[in-house]
Structure 1
Amino acid sequence: MTPVIRIVAAVVLDDRNHVLVVRKRGTTAFMQPGGKFEPGETPVQALRREIREELGAGVVEESIRSLGHHDAAAANEPGHRVAADLFLVHLDGPPQPGAEIVEMAWVDPHSPGDIELAPLTVGAVLEFVRVS
Structure 2
Amino acid sequence: MLEGIHHAAIICSDYGKSRQFYVGILGLEVIAENFRAGRNSWKLDLALPDGGQVELFSFPTAPPRPSYPEAQGLRHLAFRVAALEPVIRHLQDCGIEVEPVRVDEYTGKRFTFFSDPDGLPLELYEQG
TM-based fold match above 0.5 = no
- Larger RCO of the pair (alpha carbons < 8 Å, separation 6+): 1
TM range (shorter): under 0.3
TM, length-normalised to structure 1: 0.26
